Structure 1
Amino acid sequence: MTKLLSLLLAFLVLSPVFVRSLNPSLNDDVLGLIVFKADIQDPMGKLVSWNEDDDSPCNWVGLKCNPRSNRVSELDLDGFSLSGKIGRGLLQLQFLRRLSLSKNNLTGSISPNLTRLENLRVIDFSENNLSGPIPADFFRQCGSLRAISLARNKFSGRIPDSLSSCATLAAINLSSNQFSGSLPSGIWSLNGLRSLDLSENLLEGEIPKGVEGLNNLRAINLSKNRFSGQIPDGIGGCLLLRMIDLSENSFSGTLPDTMQKLSLCNYLNLHKNSFEGEVPQWIGEMKSLETLDLSANIFSGQVPTSIGNLQSLKVLNFSANAFTGSLPDSMIGCANLLALDFSQNSLTGNIPAWIFKLGLTNVSLSENELSGSTASSMGNSNQKLQVLDLSHNALSGEITSAVGVLSSLQFLNLSRNSLMGAIPASIGELKALGILDLSENQLSASIPLEIGGAISLKELRLEKNFLAGKIPISLENCSSLTSLILSQNNLIGPIPTAIAKLINLQTVDLSFNNLTGSLPRQLANLPNLLSFNISHNHLQGELPAGGFFNTISPFSVSGNPSLCGSAVNRSCPGVLPKPIVLNPNSSSDSTTGSLPQNLGHKKIILSISALIAIGAAAVIVIGVIAITVLNLRVRSSTSRSAAAFTLSGIDEYSHSPTTDANSGKLVMFSGDPDFSTGAHALLNKDCELGRGGFGAVYRTVLRDGRPVAIKKLTVSSLVKSQEDFEREVKKLGKIRHPNLVALEGYYWTPSLQLLISEFVSGGSLYKHLHEGLGGNFLSWNERFNIILGTAKSLAHLHQLNIIHYNLKSSNVLIDSSGEPKVGDFGLARLLPMLDRYVLSSKIQSALGYMAPEFACRTVKITEKCDVYGFGVLVLEVVTGKRPVEYMEDDVVVLCDMVRGALEENRVEECVDGKLQGKFPADEAIPVMKLGLICTSQVPSNRPDMGEVVNILELIRCPSEGQEELG
């Protein structure tokens, strides 16, 4: 049976008629559907019940049969996740009435013969990836076709004139494609048409005359095209029209008077065109209107009083026009009105009281010239109001306490007015309020403590007022707060620690106030901060260490003379001594520092600044002497045969930890710090392993014969303090992972810091890829294991909230068993003075690995920077090419090269030529695609490293038996 069927399928493709004549007993529907199935992919196994050995398909999923003829009448495979092309097999279904393949991933074009199925009534191919033009004669023989939908595909070209041949069509939906050109004039001859949707295309020109011929038309949607000209007068002849959407085109002129005949129309949208003139009074005759949107046009004059006749109206949008005068009181007749938008006009007068008496949920009157007070209008406010925007007007007076009765309010914007007085305490009664904007007014007094009652607040904007007093600690109750903008006021007192509890905060601006005190250290724990501006206050002390504050912009902390820290380029002193008062005439040994009462005017007072200057001079002198002594010791130490651990002339050590005022502190996290080499290990070029942005790395050996690597930091001036340095190093020393280089210990003096790490013998990934270390090259399996191991190490770091910042092939080392070990992680935590620009030049010194957000101060540096660097590393490992390569007359960026090759279906050519075809394409290509996803320009589009590990393990599983390809 199977062999016979294969032969029949081959004949079927060539000639369906021949197959039927060859064996009339075979069911044409089964054959046609099996051929259709052969052309598509079914990843979800939805069509598993389609068995080629069945005599009838009527029990197959997605099918319905006519009970009399037992032939397929409906094929409905909506949302089956199918891909592939729509083949000729469907032409066998001669009794098919409904064909629906929507919401799949089908590609290719459509057959010009489909409409020749004489019984076909409905075609729905919407929401796929079908493309190309519709064949010119597609509609030439459309039989009894009643409805066709090709919406949300990629069809292009003109809408064929043959469409006018389908006299039986009642519904046409060609929306969300790329159709161009003008409308076929014959479309108005389809007098059976009830629904026409051509929205979101590239159609242009004027609407051809004759629209009145569509006397059965209920809905027309031509929005989001390039149509121009006027609305044809004949539109008034379509008396059954209920929905008209001509928005986002280039229509112009005035509204034709014939439209007043459309008494059944309940939806009229003319948004974003160039209509002009006054809105005619006859608009009130369209009494079925529920939505009327004339926004973003050039309408002028006053709002017609007849609007009040539209008792069914629910949504009214006249925004972004040139309306003048006041809103008519007749509008209180719009008893069902829910949303009202007159923003961006030139309306004058007071806010009508009827606005707060209707059951409105959304009101926007922003950017007008309204005046008066809000007090009287809100007196009888309804409790359904959710959005109230009165911003950018000329409102005055105080904000009435009656605002508290708007219990459903979610958005309140009264900014850019002339409101005065205090913020009413009743604001705290608005439990649903998410956004409160009272900025750019003349509000005074303090921020009410009751504001903490607005527990749903996400954005609080009070900038550019005259607010005084302290920042209320009750804000800690607003746990959803993401934006806190209180700048340019007269606020005093400290920044409350309570703000550190608002873990969702992203933007904070407290600049240009009179805030004092130090910043709470807990602020460093805020995980989502993108901006924290405290400039131009009177804050003092040390900036918080860690988190966002390690990369805070100097601009955000400027204008605070007593602040210290890396961002303000001002070191933080220890506990300063009190001023010393010396008596030059006294021989007493008293240490009280006081003067005899009878000394009179003879006294010398040394201020703190003078002492600091003297101290600085002394330090310089001592430093010169120390350097001389150290150099002498370095020279002498190289001649010692069994010197104990001596680094750059430091005294000998034999126990751990060791601290000496004259030498420094050495700490090993496990075991005794006995070393077999001395200072020459750091100074002798023969022991140097490499150099990076932060210093050189050397190899030395412990007394037990175990080698270690020592990084000698050359950025001592950027290290904040011994306490902070040691705290961070100890955290890093606790991190253990098979694919991370273990930190063994550290050495500290104020002028020298060393990091002692596990020594990895196999060299760096960079040398293996680009310098052919050892004369060998990495096999595919070795490369894949390096990629996977590196991904696991980064995922582990990110779980510990540690960003590597410095991922590149020279920082991935290969041990003796071929496993990758990532080093140099967490350096940014040791150097809190680094901002992202120093990081760019120091840590991210390897060109090509740096994520694009390093160049933008407003974008937060997150773990997604590591994901970007990892993506570049993946492409480097697979292709064997450097991230950026300089040719004779060109610069080749690896990401761009691979992405271009992928678009041209030649991505296999990018795999390292050293592999000579010995790699599984079903692993290499998905890995490269993963690398490209990781290097997305938008951080949120990059996967997490945990997801990357899962994806890599899924890629590897199907080919575990292909080791021989390595």
Structure 2
Amino acid sequence: MLYTLVLFLLCAPALVYALDPVFNDDVLGLIVFKAGLQDPKAKLASWNEDDDSPCNWVGVKCDPRTNRVSDVVLDGFSLSGHIDRGILRLQFLQTLSLSKNNFTWTINPDLARLGSLQVIDLSENNLYGSIPDGLFQQCGSLRAVSFAGNNLTGNIPDSLSYCSTLVSVNFSSNQLSGKLSAGLWFLRGLQVLDLSDNLLEGEVPKGIEALYDLRAINLSKNRLSGKLPGDIGDCSVLKLVDLSENDFSGSLPESLQRLSSCTSLSLQGNSFIGEIPDWIGELRGLETLDLSSNRFSGWIPISIGNLQLLKNLNLSMNRLSGSLPESMSNCINLLAMDVSHNQLAGNLPSWIFKPTVQSVSLPGNGINGNVQYSSLTSIAAFYQGLQVLDLSSNALSGEIPVNIGTLSSLQFLNISRNQLFGTIPAGIGELKSIYILDLSNNRLDGSIPSEIGGAVSLKELRIQKNFLTGKIPIQVENCSSLTSLILSQNNLTGPIPAAISNLSNLQYVDLSLNELSGRLPKELTNLSHLVSFNVSHNHLQGELPVGGFFNTISPSSVSGNPSLCGSVVGRSCPAVHPKPLVLNPNSSNSSPAGSSSPNHHRIVLSISALIAIGAAVFIALGVIAITVLNIHARSSMSLPADPLAFPGGEDFSCSPTSDPNFGKLVMFSGDADFVTGAHALLNKDCELGRGGFGVVYKTVLRDGRSVAIKKLTISGLVKSQDDFEREVKKLGKIRHHNLVALEGFYWTPSLQLLIYEYISCGSLYKHLHDGSNGNCLSWRQRFNIVLGMAKGLAHLHRLNIIHYNLKSTNVVINSSGEPKVGDFGLARLLPMLDHCVLSSKIQSALGYMAPEFACRTVKITEKCDVYGFGVLVLEVVTGKRPVEYLEDDVVVLCDMVREALEEGKVEDCVDGRLRRNFPAEEAIPVIKLGLICASQVPSNRPDMSEVINILELIQCPSEGQEELE
């Protein structure tokens, strides 16, 4: 009935118009629209073509006066397909909202024919192509339009300026390019403009002051440059200004001080210079001020204390000096403050522990003096709000206050890399809400207090590189959520408590370089989530546990314990020889000595004899099995062979086919035929490398192109064929000169292949670690590799794709010396981003993995890639691997470089093969950038677009001159 009705509508319009007009335009229009959709959750089940009116259908609203459809709102219905022309019959439609679905196809320019349409919301779908110019040439009464979160490309159409009735425009999170048109400022009634997260470039045109009713403007995450328009302050009712993550430069225009109604000003991630102006204190309505990741210098102005409504302040990653002004005690509503990675000095002010403050981040400065909370005990309730306190990498001294437990709401405490001494106070156990505690790299002594077991929410405990003594307290087993236990490089003694085996969530354990003794508890094999377990350089003895993680533990993780034995350390354990086994069926009636009765033979078989007999039987069975297999193989060889059959019985077809016995090969461009047969496709001789997600082989296409084929080893976890193809095709659309292009794929239920462009010059790992000293990368080549990797990652992040598996073996170098990042987005092929699955697939990336992977409750974001990029930067500059195992030590690259920086010897970290032929004014900032990217705290890491801006600023003007060799 439905399809007959649709056919009738499309083929006999003259007859249809003779019917009732409401049925004609509304019911049939929506039924035609529904016919072009996939509705997996049956959300539109109430849409019945036999109804006289659609006004009671789900998602449909009618005007009570005319009984005609006025609103179609189907947000989040999981619908897919394309927006059919049936919707154009709803001539009285005012609101069309189809956001958060899976609609594909291009935007229909005929929507402009709906003269009553006021709101179009097609956001968060999979629309592609350009925004049609014709859509806005007859925009009638259109007031709000949103195409945010799609895959749209091309320029913003000039015809948009014709829609004088527009109040809100949102084209954010697409891939729109080109320059901003001054025609935008003709939309005199515009109140909201959001073009963020696109590829727009050039300067912001003059004339923005004409938008006298503009309330919010968001141009963040683009490539806009030049100075801010000087007339922006004339938009006097602006409340939200977000111009972050672009390349704006110069000083802040004075007109900004006229934005007295502004509540949020975000300019982070640009190249602004000069001092933060005193007039910033005139913006008394500000609740959020973010000037981070720029080049501001000088002191923080005292006038900032006038911002009594301020809730969030971020001035991190600038060049600010001086001390934190006391006037900031007047910011009585302050919730979060981040002034990390500047050049601030002076004492830690007491006002940071205000009643409202929830987060304080001051790492990477020169804050000194003692950590004093002298009155915490008496007015504990005063400090209930503080949840995040990061004072790491400063010059703080003194002891940790004994009443630290008074900060009862604290969830994150990092006071590492200071000069604190004394003991860890027992009050640490009163921090019931804390999940990350980092006291590493100080001068703490004494023992770990048994009260640590009171911190029941603890997930990460880091106390390495101190002078702690005594035993590991068994009370640590009360911290049942613990995923990371890092106690290395202390003077701890005694055995490793078996209670640790009760911490079922443990993933990272490092007890190396202590004075621990005794045996490793066998119960440790119960720790099923272990990724790393390092007990090297202690005094442990006895046999290594057998089973679970310990069957594959690295020898370096247990080295430096001369009394340990087992196959991993290459020392056999002392054997216990059993007595011979006596088998006598007449043991109850044994014959007297010397009896020779033929019916009473004594049978004496040793264990070794039994083993020999068993081995002989096993060998005999093996010979029989091999013989049978050989006969089967000969019979198989006599059958006609498919020249494109894969090893292992997988058939391969060079084009899609409906035959269920064949796989499906899809090439996005070019020839789909291979020159060689199956013997060369997945042949060991053609293997290029192995990774966490599969093995890579090389072959040649019929058109002469070489390609790399990745055979995925995650078949049991891969999505269905439809989901697999959808995700792979998305990855195939990604094109960037710093990304390895995906050119096709092959699918069967048990075998999946990804076909990539082939890069002949090998991986970055090979160039850094396998090359000869006489042919190493020059400094300029290394800098360009770092910049190219940053651009490739930034492009992925703009498309909301997280790499997950960044390491030097997944970066290849082409013949021009340009880097190309590969293996990206493969985690999208899994049915869910399960931490255990990901950890098991990227164990080979140990050293590059962000600490968030150790915590199940922390969201995995693009900042994980930034961490891996930071480690890569240090690897490129130093020529050293992320983790190197020496004869009597384990060297973590980040820690080594950070210590060298603190000691003023950072230049010594640059690869010695460069023979000092490198510009220190570039090398040192690049190293610092790598350390910042590899910060333990995700919020301290810059975005990749910021990284690009910083690298381009670091790059010396003399780059174009003679290259340093």
What TM-score range do you get, normalising by the shorter chain?
0.5 to 0.7
Contact 1:356 1:377 in 2 (8 A): no
Q: Which residue of 193, 196, 199 maps to 1:196?
A: 193
Deviations 1:176-207 (A, max 9, x none): 11110111211011111111111111111111
Q: Following TM superposition, by how much is the alpha carbon of 1:163 offset from its aligned partner in structure 2, in angstroms? A: 0.3
Give, in whole Å, the separation in 2 of the partners of 1:885 and 1:551.
33
Q: Which residue of 173, 176, 181 maps to 1:184?
A: 181
TM value normalised by structure 1: 0.65
Give, in whole Å, the separation in 1 of the partners of 2:50 and 2:39.
19
Contact 1:452 1:477 in 2 (8 A): yes
What amino acid is aligned across from residue 479 of structure 2 in structure 1?
C
Q: Which residue of 151, 157, 163 maps to 2:148?
A: 151
* Structure 1 residue 772 corresponds to structure 2 residue 661: no
Q: 1:366 to 1:847 in 2, by over 3 A?
A: same
Give, in whole Å, the separation in 2 of the partners of 1:391 and 1:320.
15
TM value normalised by structure 2: 0.65
Q: Which residue of 283, 289, 292 maps to 1:292?
A: 289
Contact 2:214 2:238 in 1 (8 A): yes
Unaligned runs of 5+ in 2: 579-600, 651-681, 730-745, 756-822, 838-965
Contact 2:6 2:31 in 1 (8 A): no
What amino acid is aligned across from residue 927 of structure 1 in structure 2?
P
Deviations 1:259-314 (A, max 9, x none): 11111111111111111111111111111111111111111100011111111111
Q: Which residue of 2 aligns with 1:689?
A: 625
Give, in whole Å, the separation in 2 of the partners of 1:681 and 1:295.
70
Q: 1:943 to 1:173 in 2, by over 3 A?
A: closer
* Structure 1 residue 547 corresponds to structure 2 residue 548: yes
Q: Following TM superposition, by how much is the alpha carbon of 1:30 offset from its aligned partner in structure 2, in angstroms? A: 2.1
Q: Which residue of 1 aligns with 2:515?
A: 514
Q: Which residue of 2 aligns with 1:425?
A: 426
Q: Which residue of 927, 931, 956 maps to 2:749?
A: 927
Give, in whole Å, the separation in 1 of the partners of 2:121 and 2:607.
83
Contact 2:727 2:828 in 1 (8 A): no
Give, in whole Å, the separation in 2 of the partners of 1:34 and 1:73.
16
Q: Which residue of 2 aligns with 1:895?
A: 711
Contact 1:96 1:119 in 2 (8 A): yes
Q: 1:894 to 1:481 in 2, by over 3 A?
A: closer
Q: What secondary structure does 1:110 align onto?
A: coil
Give, in whole Å, the separation in 2 of the partners of 1:560 and 1:123.
69
Contact 2:150 2:174 in 1 (8 A): yes
Q: Which residue of 1 aligns with 2:559?
A: 558
Q: Following TM superposition, by how much is the alpha carbon of 1:139 offset from its aligned partner in structure 2, in angstroms? A: 0.4
Q: Which residue of 1 aligns with 2:539?
A: 538
Give, in whole Å, the separation in 2 of the partners of 1:524 and 1:535.
18
Q: Which residue of 64, 81, 84 maps to 2:61?
A: 64
Q: Following TM superposition, by how much is the alpha carbon of 1:368 offset from its aligned partner in structure 2, in angstroms? A: 0.3
Q: What secondary structure does 1:396 align onto?
A: strand
Q: Which residue of 609, 617, 623 maps to 1:663?
A: 609
**Within 5 A, what are the aligned runs for 1:899-918?**
none
Contact 1:314 1:338 in 2 (8 A): yes
Contact 2:113 2:138 in 1 (8 A): yes
Q: 1:667 to 1:312 in 2, by over 3 A?
A: farther
Q: Which residue of 1 aligns with 2:830?
A: 941
Q: Which residue of 311, 314, 322 maps to 2:311?
A: 314
What amino acid is aligned across from residue 284 of structure 2 in structure 1?
K
Q: 1:576 to 1:563 in 2, by over 3 A?
A: farther
Select the structure of larger CA radius of gyration.
1
What amino acid is aligned across from residue 749 of structure 2 in structure 1?
V
What amino acid is aligned across from residue 895 of structure 1 in structure 2?
K
Give, in whole Å, the separation in 2 of the partners of 1:182 and 1:26.
46
Q: What secondary structure does 1:895 align onto?
A: strand
Q: 1:684 to 1:128 in 2, by over 3 A?
A: closer
Q: What secondary structure does 1:427 align onto?
A: helix
Q: Which residue of 2 aligns with 1:221?
A: 218
Q: Which residue of 2 aligns with 1:11?
A: 11
What amino acid is aligned across from residue 9 of structure 1 in structure 2?
L
**Within 5 A, what are the aligned runs for 1:210-609?**
210-376=207-373, 379=376, 382-574=383-575
Q: Which residue of 2 aligns with 1:29?
A: 26
Give, in whole Å, the separation in 1 of the partners of 2:691 and 2:604.
43
Q: 1:904 to 1:57 in 2, by over 3 A?
A: closer
Deviations 1:722-776 (A, max 9, x none): xxxxxxxxxxxxxxxxxxxxxxxxxxxxxxxxxxxxxxxxx69x978x9737859
Q: Following TM superposition, by how much is the alpha carbon of 1:518 offset from its aligned partner in structure 2, in angstroms? A: 1.1
Q: Following TM superposition, by how much is the alpha carbon of 1:402 offset from its aligned partner in structure 2, in angstroms? A: 2.2
RMSD: 4.1
**Within 5 A, what are the aligned runs for 1:718-737?**
none
Q: What secondary structure does 1:108 align onto?
A: coil
Q: What secondary structure does 2:556 align onto?
A: helix
Q: What secondary structure does 2:201 align onto?
A: strand
Contact 1:11 1:19 in 2 (8 A): no
Give, in whole Å, the separation in 2 of the partners of 1:285 and 1:421.
45
Deviates more, 1:44-53 or 1:88-97: 44-53
Q: Following TM superposition, by how much is the alpha carbon of 1:89 offset from its aligned partner in structure 2, in angstroms? A: 1.3
Give, in whole Å, the separation in 2 of the partners of 1:905 and 1:320.
37
Q: 1:242 to 1:484 in 2, by over 3 A?
A: same
What amino acid is aligned across from residue 410 of structure 1 in structure 2?
Q
Give, in whole Å, the separation in 2 of the partners of 1:851 and 1:473.
48
Deviates more, 1:71-80 or 1:378-387: 378-387
Q: 1:359 to 1:771 in 2, by over 3 A?
A: farther
What amino acid is aligned across from residue 413 of structure 1 in structure 2?
N
Give, in whole Å, the separation in 1 of the partners of 2:191 and 2:65.
31
Q: Following TM superposition, by how much is the alpha carbon of 1:78 offset from its aligned partner in structure 2, in angstroms? A: 1.3
Give, in whole Å, the separation in 2 of the partners of 1:311 and 1:301.
23
Give, in whole Å, the separation in 2 of the partners of 1:417 and 1:683.
68
Q: Which residue of 2 aligns with 1:609?
A: none
Give, in whole Å, the separation in 1 of the partners of 2:14 and 2:141.
22
Q: Which residue of 155, 160, 163 maps to 1:166?
A: 163
Q: Which residue of 2 aligns with 1:739?
A: none
Q: 1:438 to 1:28 in 2, by over 3 A?
A: same
Contact 1:36 1:89 in 2 (8 A): yes
Give, in whole Å, the separation in 1 of the partners of 2:632 and 2:341.
63
**Within 5 A, what are the aligned runs for 1:87-102?**
87-102=84-99
Give, in whole Å, the separation in 2 of the partners of 1:281 and 1:773.
85
Give, in whole Å, the separation in 2 of the partners of 1:767 and 1:221.
69
More RCO (CA 8 Å, sep 6+):
2
Q: What secondary structure does 1:326 align onto?
A: coil
What amino acid is aligned across from residue 830 of structure 2 in structure 1?
N
Q: What secondary structure does 1:555 align onto?
A: helix
Q: How many residues align?
A: 683
Q: 1:401 to 1:194 in 2, by over 3 A?
A: same
Q: Following TM superposition, by how much is the alpha carbon of 1:520 offset from its aligned partner in structure 2, in angstroms? A: 0.8
Q: 1:75 to 1:679 in 2, by over 3 A?
A: closer
Q: What secondary structure does 1:68 align onto?
A: coil
What amino acid is aligned across from residue 10 of structure 2 in structure 1?
A
What amino acid is aligned across from residue 8 of structure 2 in structure 1?
L
Q: Following TM superposition, by how much is the alpha carbon of 1:22 offset from its aligned partner in structure 2, in angstroms? A: 8.9
Unaligned runs of 5+ in 1: 578-654, 669-677, 691-697, 700-762, 784-806, 811-844, 857-864, 873-882, 908-923, 949-966
Contact 2:727 2:829 in 1 (8 A): no
Give, in whole Å, the separation in 1 of the partners of 2:618 and 2:447.
64
Give, in whole Å, the separation in 1 of the partners of 2:171 and 2:833.
39
What amino acid is aligned across from residue 560 of structure 1 in structure 2?
N
Give, in whole Å, the separation in 2 of the partners of 1:808 and 1:458.
44
Q: What secondary structure does 1:340 align onto?
A: strand
Q: Percent identity?
A: 57
Contact 2:686 2:699 in 1 (8 A): no
Q: What secondary structure does 1:332 align onto?
A: helix
Q: What secondary structure does 1:347 align onto?
A: coil
Q: 1:383 to 1:308 in 2, by over 3 A?
A: same
Q: Following TM superposition, by how much is the alpha carbon of 1:255 offset from its aligned partner in structure 2, in angstroms? A: 1.1
